Structure 1
Amino acid sequence: MSIRPILETRAATPTMEGAGVKLHRAFGFQDPSELDPFLLFDDFRNEHPQDYMRGFPWHPHRGIETITYVLSGTVEHADSLGNTGTLGAGDVQWMTAGSGILHQEMPEGNTTGQMHGFQLWGNLPASQKMTAPRYQDVESREIPEVIDDDGTRVRVIVGEFWGKTGPVDGIAADPQYLDISVPAGVKKTFKIDTYRRAFAYVFEGAAAFADASQPTGVLLEKEVAGQELNIRDMSGDRTLIRFGTGDEVTVQAGPEGVRFLLISGAPIEEPVAWHGPIVMNTQAELQQAMRDLSNGTFIKAAH
């Protein structure tokens, strides 16, 4: 077994999208090979309705999949194929844009005005760029949760983990998407397929992640030395941890515990031509998509 090295730890940066939605971006619009097959990850979390209520009005997507996971509040969605619906707390939507879709997403806070969710963009291989669009809307009650003896909780959104299989299937990158809560002071190791690119995103509490660059890992060294982890050792709220190659990730939860997403997928390793919400393989394909948008032929699939 080998602990994955930590290639990078960085804080999500504030940005604005849609019609003025304030959010934090962990990665996106940079080097698409870093976390191939994933392109972008946003944490949209606000206490004030004026920071999100204008939402994400009609916009196109082609060549990608968007994964929306709502923790609190709701997101109403509609698209050019006539689909409509509402995502509530704990729900997931996996949208395969394929050949092209126009849609809108309008967030609404809970009873106290809070809105919180995540959106991840996954790339599609060339062979699936122009497939028919499809949705997988998954209600919270359909997502299996596993509770270990030490109190660790894992919601299995996609993929297999601890004997449970997530309800989302047929995804190009064959990803694993886990929502993990580890109680205060607990140290836990999670297995990940060696050949997947992987990252963690901390959004509650704090934790230290072992790094393969130190033979026994920082966590184990401190444990042997009888030292307590201090906040400088830890990754806290809105922190991305990007891992290198290995088959396990070890985490030591801080004094308030930690909740994080652990996401991995098989790299596609194809050229990327990217402009906003459209991701193709060549500039010629990208230019064709722009022409399709301007002349009204962007939508290829009938309802």
Structure 2
Amino acid sequence: MGLMDILRIAQEGITHPFGDERSVKQAFPAGIDTTAADPFLMCDYFHSKEDKGLADVDEFPVDWHPHRGFDICSYLRSGTGRHGDSLGNRETFETPGMQWMSTGSGVVHAEGGGNEKGQVVQGFQIWINCPAERKMDDPRYGTVPTQDLPLVDVAPGVTARVLAGHAFQNITGPFATSQEVQMIDLELQAGSTTGCLDLISEGLDTAMLYIYEGTMATVNNKEESAIQSGQIVLFDASSDENRGMELVASKEEGAKALLFAGKKLKEPIVWHGPIVMNTQSQIQETIRELRKGTFPPVRVKWDYKRLATKPKGESETAST
């Protein structure tokens, strides 16, 4: 197994997804463009202290908003996760943990507000595109607590959490994506090495490594310069013979990195805020549905934005 060549090393960007003073670090598309990152649409990274504290049961710092046409993973390493949606889900989870949605034909959701003031919240929100024929599937949702996130001892001083896809022989991550991907959170202690890892599944032709904390001394034997926190490595995953990866953490500090691998869709992308479709007419139809109040087409019958309206004993199963 040969090592993958490095196509380029990019720098994360800073974005303001909420239109206010709140900012996140963004690996892609700010660092790696959408064509190169395909099928991955977005990776936002946040690491900050909670400034408002616990919210009311119906109050969310990230207020209710719609999505359609892609899959979402909210992966938290610290803090407490909290979520509500139009499928009737109201979930809180400890960390490291994850919530995911395949938004399909549409969901409305809100999140945050599960932490005491001053609590450090570290995590990622990752968007993955769906194939055109899957964009209008019924939405799906899952909550993954710490004990259900597979943790693997890769080598001395190296661990990995498998978030999505197949890795390390019989291990499969719990994020059920519409398009085949792998997502693995790697943590290396100072001076440790992974050795040569045969991680990237055959047929996947996108591979990226986002170093979000610490420093990699070398990646795939490239010693020209260390890969610093905030940088993204784009690999050449076009060869089935050269799919290996070897990481060495700096001797001064460890490193944490997210590995992304996937199969390119190579389909048109029309992106309008929280809606990702293939044509402008599909975007316009979604906007019409939002204005008419018929979005999302699949939802619970009670007012999902007010938990007190949920009928006692009634199933949370959504209906069309």
Q: Within the alignment, does 1:290 sit opposite 2:299 as a pair?
A: no
Distance in 1 between the 2:121 and 2:113 partners? 7
Report the residue type matching 1:155 in the other structure: R
In structure 2, the CA distance between the partners of 1:275 and 1:151, relative to structure 1 (3 Å rule), is same
The worse-fitting range, judged by mean Cα deviation, of 106-115 and 95-104 is 106-115
TM-score (ref. length: structure 1): 0.86
Residues 100 and 175 in structure 2, CA contact (< 8 A), matched pair in contact too: no
Correspondence list, 1:46-85, <5 A: 46-47=48-49, 49=51, 55-85=61-91
Structure 1 unaligned spans of 5+: 212-216, 220-231
> What do residues 82-106 of structure 1 show as CA deviations (whole Å, max 9, x unaligned)?
2111132111112000001111112
1:37 maps to which residue?
Answer: 39
Report the residue type matching 1:205 in the other structure: G
In structure 2, the CA distance between the partners of 1:209 and 1:282, relative to structure 1 (3 Å rule), is farther
Correspondence list, 1:237-256, <5 A: 237-245=229-237, 246-255=242-251, 256=253
2:306 maps to which residue?
Answer: none
Residues 159 and 187 in structure 2, CA contact (< 8 A), matched pair in contact too: yes
> What do residues 100-136 of structure 1 show as CA deviations (whole Å, max 9, x unaligned)?
1111112444674211110110001011100011101
Correspondence list, 1:84-99, <5 A: 84-99=90-105
Which one of the candidate residues 222, 225, 240 is aligned to 1:218?
222
Structure 1 residue 73 displacement after superposition: 1.1
Distance in 2 between the 1:234 and 1:125 partners? 36
Q: What's the % identity of the aligned pairs?
A: 32
Compute the RMSD of aligned alpha carbons. Answer: 2.4
2:313 maps to which residue?
Answer: none
TM-score (ref. length: structure 2): 0.82
2:203 maps to which residue?
Answer: 195
Distance in 1 between the 2:116 and 2:159 partners? 24
Q: Secondary structure at the match of 1:290?
A: helix
In structure 2, the CA distance between the partners of 1:249 and 1:167, relative to structure 1 (3 Å rule), is closer
1:224 maps to which residue?
Answer: none
Residues 83 and 110 in structure 2, CA contact (< 8 A), matched pair in contact too: yes
Report the residue type matching 1:120 in the other structure: I
2:18 maps to which residue?
Answer: 18
In structure 2, the CA distance between the partners of 1:55 and 1:243, relative to structure 1 (3 Å rule), is farther
Aligned residues: 286
Over 3 Å off, 4+ runs = 107-112, 208-211
Distance in 2 between the 1:209 and 1:108 partners? 38
Residues 76 and 98 in structure 2, CA contact (< 8 A), matched pair in contact too: yes
Distance in 2 between the 1:264 and 1:209 partners? 20
In structure 2, the CA distance between the partners of 1:172 and 1:42, relative to structure 1 (3 Å rule), is same
Distance in 2 between the 1:181 and 1:31 partners? 25
Q: Secondary structure at the match of 1:293?
A: helix
1:235 maps to which residue?
Answer: 227
Report the residue type matching 1:254 in the other structure: S
> What do residues 166-193 of structure 1 show as CA deviations (whole Å, max 9, x unaligned)?
3425422221111111222223222213
Distance in 1 between the 2:115 and 2:233 partners? 28
In structure 2, the CA distance between the partners of 1:110 and 1:235, relative to structure 1 (3 Å rule), is farther
In structure 2, the CA distance between the partners of 1:2 and 1:149, relative to structure 1 (3 Å rule), is closer
Residues 106 and 297 in structure 2, CA contact (< 8 A), matched pair in contact too: yes
The worse-fitting range, judged by mean Cα deviation, of 59-68 and 190-199 is 190-199
Q: Secondary structure at the match of 2:294?
A: coil
Structure 1 residue 251 displacement after superposition: 1.3
Distance in 2 between the 1:118 and 1:162 partners? 23
Distance in 2 between the 1:101 and 1:240 partners? 31
